[in-house]
């Protein structure tokens, strides 16, 4: 049996596959750095929240190419150490995470707040792709009245 959970965790907006992928189990498909959440805020609103403590805004990059968003962080300098570190639990390495986007999902913004990078996503379905209702004509009701034949008097 194949575990497709890593695929689900890196895709946004594939709602119809959610229950299937959740039922297949859990597997961490990478090193887990940095940790992130994918939230559904509304019917067509999503957010990726990524823990990027210690990164400055200029060290972070959010890039959209075709149907994928790539979030990366590149450390420009080593943090200054006042003394010797007895335990280093705060990671300070560069990273890159790629998320596949569903059709019509667009990145609408990004913000850095309290060590969390929030990437806002919106599904914008064009009018041509939205379902539409087709009116059904009732041919029996719209047929013309039967014609009567008049007789000429002789």
pLDDT of residue 11 exceeding 60:
yes
pLDDT at 59: 92
Question: Taking the model in full, what pTM does it have?
Answer: 0.63
Q: What is the dihedral of CA 62, 55, 9, 1, to 10 degrees?
A: 120
CA nearest to 3, candidates 39, 34, 27: 27
pLDDT of residue 24 exceeding 60:
no
The set of residues, in sequence order, having a beta carbon less than 8 Å from that of 13 and lying 6+ positions away, is 46, 101, 102, 103, 104, 105, 121, 123
**Confidence at 61, pLDDT banded by 50, 70, 90:** very high
Q: How far apart are CA 76 and CA 129, in angstroms?
A: 44
**Confidence at 88, pLDDT banded by 50, 70, 90:** confident
For each of the domains in the chain, give its residue range(s) and CATH number, in order of start. 32-77+91-128 (2.60.40.790)
CA nearest to 99, candidates 36, 25, 24, 17: 36
pLDDT at 19: 46
pLDDT of residue 53 exceeding 50:
yes
Q: How far apart are CA 94 and CA 72, in angstroms?
A: 7
pLDDT of residue 99 exceeding 50:
yes
């Amino acid at each position: 049996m194949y575990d497709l959970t890593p695929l689900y965790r890196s895709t946004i907006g594939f709602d119809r596959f959610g229950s299937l992928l959740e039922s297949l189990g859990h597997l961490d498909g990478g090193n887990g750095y940095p940790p992130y959440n994918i939230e559904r805020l509304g019917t067509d609103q999503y957010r990726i929240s990524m823990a990027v403590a210690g990164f400055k805004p200029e060290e972070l990059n959010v890039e959209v190419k075709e149907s994928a968003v790539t979030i990366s962080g590149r450390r420009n300098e080593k943090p200054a150490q006042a003394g010797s570190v007895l335990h280093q639990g705060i990671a300070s390495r560069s990273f890159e995470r790629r998320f596949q986007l569903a059709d019509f999902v667009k990145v609408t913004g990004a913000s850095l707040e309290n060590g969390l990078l929030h990437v806002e996503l919106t599904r914008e379905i064009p009018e041509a792709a939205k379902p539409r209702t087709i009116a059904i004509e009732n041919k029996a009701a719209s047929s013309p009245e039967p014609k009567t034949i008049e007789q000429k008097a002789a």
